Structure 1
Amino acid sequence: MEAVYTQGIWMAESLQERTRSQERLWLVVTHIGDPKAAFLLVFPFTYFISKRTGVAVLWVAAISEWLNLVFKWILFGERPFWWIGESHLFVSQQPKVHQFSSTCETGPGSPSGHAMVTGAVLWVVVSSLGSFLYSRTHSVVLSAVPYLLYVVTLVAVGISRVFILAHFPHQVIAGSITGFFLGVVLNHRVPEGRPLLFFFSISIGLMLSALMVHGGLQQLGIDPSWSIALAKKWCSRAEWIRLDTAPFSSLFRDCGALLGLGLAQYWKAGGWSLPWAPRALSLAISSMGLYHVHRLPLPVQSQGLFYVLFMVKFIMVPQIVMVLVPGLVHLFTHKKKKE
């Protein structure tokens, strides 16, 4: 693997040198490809256009990110920003590369979570959009446009991850391919209309399964948290190391989102039936609400408390999008019509 990693470092150096003027673009793209964007941006946007697609996005995002966590624990992938120093292969010729605020993620690097979750979630969106366009226009060319945008987006996210030294090229390729297959498979198994017990069981099952994998690796003498020490050692700035990029953060996000999805469907099965204008209003209010929920500061002194509150945040996401905001908008517009 040394040859693959070394080649990846020189590719990252070349990419940074040749596209330095597009630095801001790559930073925006890497934020768009962040798994949490699927929960906070893609989910509400799609839900108010198509409830089934919105639920599918949340479901696929949670399952694919959970699988990505397990894969990372098992595959032990290095990250470029720490492998440059740890490998001791660049003593005579240091690569001219730079880190960024999004570089220093603390989990293992293979496969890329950004590429994997984006590939899975966007497949749900583009397949739904492509089918809709074909049903309305019967144009193969027009219905193929979303799939072209899908490929372009995946390539852009992959390039952005290599650019900021978060991943090697082979890791984003592996993540993209895995995400595509997961999107195809999971999109046909969306849990619509399932009871709350189903989501509670899935959430607890994913939590316990991940903890069993973590504990099993420890029993084998393998430290699943080996990457955290390396990230702290080689990150250019200490403040770029954030607890919300730790592997357990993604686990609690996924379990919280699925439990929240079950609660939302329990409180209001089928959701609220709203015309287009109230839907647009609901989307705007939901987006503002999720923005402020996401920005709520959490205590980092106690990791246990942080993870619990982090999970609560993502339990709230489906409640805001599927129940609270559309319910208030429905109540307001209903009263207005009666008057």
Structure 2
Amino acid sequence: MEAVYSQGISLAEALQERTMSHEKFWLTVTYLGDPNAAFFLIFPFTYFISKRTGVAVLWVAAISEWLNLVFKWMLFGERPFWWIGESGLYVNKQPKVQQFPSTCETGPGSPSGHAMVTAAVWWAVVSSLGSFLYSRTPSVVLSSAPYLLYVLMLVAVGISRVFILAHFPHQVVAGSITGIILGIILSRRVPAGRPLLFFFSVSIGLLLSALSIHAGLQQLGFDLSWTIALAKKWCSRAEWVRLDSTPFSSLTRDCGALIGLGMAQYWKPGGWSLPRAPTALCVALSSIALYHVNRLPLPVRPQGLFYSLYFVKFVIVPQVVMVLVPGLVHLFSHKKKD
């Protein structure tokens, strides 16, 4: 693997050298490819256009990120920003690369979570959009356009992850391919209208399965915290190593979002039916509300408190989008008509 890793560093060096003037663009792309964006950005926009697609986005994001976590624990992938220092190959001549605020993630590197979750989530979106376009205008060219944009997005997210030294190219490719497969499978099995017990069972099942795998690997002698120490050691700035980038943050995010999805469907089965203008207002209000929810500062000590509050944060997300905001808009628009 040493040759594969060194070639990846060379590619990252070339990318930074030739496209550093587009730094803001790559940082924006990597932000949009963050699994967090699926919950706070993609979900509210898609839900108010198509409820089934919105639910699919949340469902696919949670399951694909959970699987990514398990794959990372088992594959022990390196990350470029720490491998440069750990490899010992660059003692005499350091590569001309730099780190960024999004570089210093603390989990293993393979496969890329950004690429995997982006591929899975956006497959649910573009397949739905492609089917809709084909049903309205049976044009193969027009209905294929979303898939072209989908490929371009995956390429852009992959390049951005290599550019910021978060992943090696093969990790991005592996994540993208796995994500596409998951997107195809999971988007066909959307749990819209399932009972609350189903979501509690899935969430608890994911939590217990992950903890069992973690405990089992530790019993076999594997140190699953090895990446956190390396991230802290080789990150350019200590504040770039964030607790919300740890594997257990991903786990609590996924479990919280699934329980929140079940609760939202339980409180208001089928969701609110709104005309087009109030729907646009719901998109705006939900985006504003989730922006502030996402920005809520959480205490990082003790870590148990952080993970508990992080879990609650993602339980709240579906409530805001599916129940609270559309409920309030429906209430006021109904009063206005009266």
Range class of TM-score, shorter chain:
over 0.9
1:330 alignment partner in structure 2: 330
1:276 alignment partner in structure 2: 276
1:120 alignment partner in structure 2: 120
CA distance in structure 2 between the aligned counterparts of 1:310 and 1:73, rounded to whole angstroms: 21
Matched, 1:146 2:146: yes
| 1:179 CA displacement | 0.3
Cα distance per residue 1:264-307 (max 9 Å; x no partner)? 00000000000111111011101100000110100011100000
CA distance in structure 2 between the aligned counterparts of 1:183 and 1:293, rounded to whole angstroms: 27
| 1:192 CA displacement | 1.2
1:201 alignment partner in structure 2: 201
Matched, 1:135 2:145: no
| 1:177 CA displacement | 0.3
CA distance in structure 2 between the aligned counterparts of 1:265 and 1:24, rounded to whole angstroms: 38
CA distance in structure 2 between the aligned counterparts of 1:331 and 1:263, rounded to whole angstroms: 20
Q: What is the one-letter code of the residue matched to 1:227?
A: T
Q: What is the one-letter code of the residue matched to 2:135?
A: S
CA distance in structure 1 between the aligned counterparts of 2:226 and 2:270, rounded to whole angstroms: 44
List structure 1 segments (4+ residues) > 4 angstroms apart after TM superposition.
none
| 1:93 CA displacement | 2.0
Superposition pairs for residues 178-257 of structure 1, below 5 Å?
A: 178-257=178-257
Superposition pairs for residues 75-94 of structure 1, below 5 Å?
A: 75-94=75-94
- In structure 1, the gaps of 5 or more residues are none
CA distance in structure 1 between the aligned counterparts of 2:18 and 2:328, rounded to whole angstroms: 50
SS of 1:266's equivalent in the other structure is helix
Sequence identity, in percent? 79
2:267 alignment partner in structure 1: 267
Q: What is the one-letter code of the residue matched to 1:154?
A: L
| 1:193 CA displacement | 1.0
Q: What is the one-letter code of the residue matched to 2:285?
A: I
Q: What is the one-letter code of the residue matched to 1:72?
A: K
CA distance in structure 2 between the aligned counterparts of 1:67 and 1:254, rounded to whole angstroms: 10
- Note the aligned Cα RMSD (angstroms): 0.5
Matched, 1:57 2:57: yes
CA distance in structure 1 between the aligned counterparts of 2:96 and 2:39, rounded to whole angstroms: 35
1:70 alignment partner in structure 2: 70
1:303 alignment partner in structure 2: 303
CA distance in structure 2 between the aligned counterparts of 1:217 and 1:232, rounded to whole angstroms: 23
With the length of structure 2 as denominator, give the TM-score of the two structures.
1.00
Moved more, 87-96 or 114-123: 87-96
Q: What is the one-letter code of the residue matched to 2:200?
A: F
| 1:90 CA displacement | 1.1
CA distance in structure 2 between the aligned counterparts of 1:84 and 1:265, rounded to whole angstroms: 48
| 1:92 CA displacement | 2.1
CA distance in structure 2 between the aligned counterparts of 1:217 and 1:24, rounded to whole angstroms: 39
Cα distance per residue 1:175-202 (max 9 Å; x no partner)? 0000000000001111111110000000
Cα distance per residue 1:96-148 (max 9 Å; x no partner)? 00000000000000000000000000000000101111111111001111000
Superposition pairs for residues 7-26 of structure 1, below 5 Å?
A: 7-26=7-26
Q: Between Structure 1 and Structure 2, how many residues are aligned?
A: 338
CA distance in structure 1 between the aligned counterparts of 2:22 and 2:53, rounded to whole angstroms: 33
Superposition pairs for residues 12-51 of structure 1, below 5 Å?
A: 12-51=12-51
1:315 alignment partner in structure 2: 315
Cα distance per residue 1:223-258 (max 9 Å; x no partner)? 111100000000000000100001100000000000
Q: What is the one-letter code of the residue matched to 1:130?
A: G
- In structure 2, the gaps of 5 or more residues are none
2:107 alignment partner in structure 1: 107
CA distance in structure 2 between the aligned counterparts of 1:119 and 1:281, rounded to whole angstroms: 29
Q: What is the one-letter code of the residue matched to 2:41?
A: L
Cα distance per residue 1:151-171 (max 9 Å; x no partner)? 000000000000000000000
| 1:327 CA displacement | 0.4
2:286 alignment partner in structure 1: 286
1:170 alignment partner in structure 2: 170
CA distance in structure 2 between the aligned counterparts of 1:255 and 1:102, rounded to whole angstroms: 24
SS of 1:19's equivalent in the other structure is helix
CA distance in structure 2 between the aligned counterparts of 1:187 and 1:118, rounded to whole angstroms: 13
CA distance in structure 1 between the aligned counterparts of 2:261 and 2:275, rounded to whole angstroms: 23
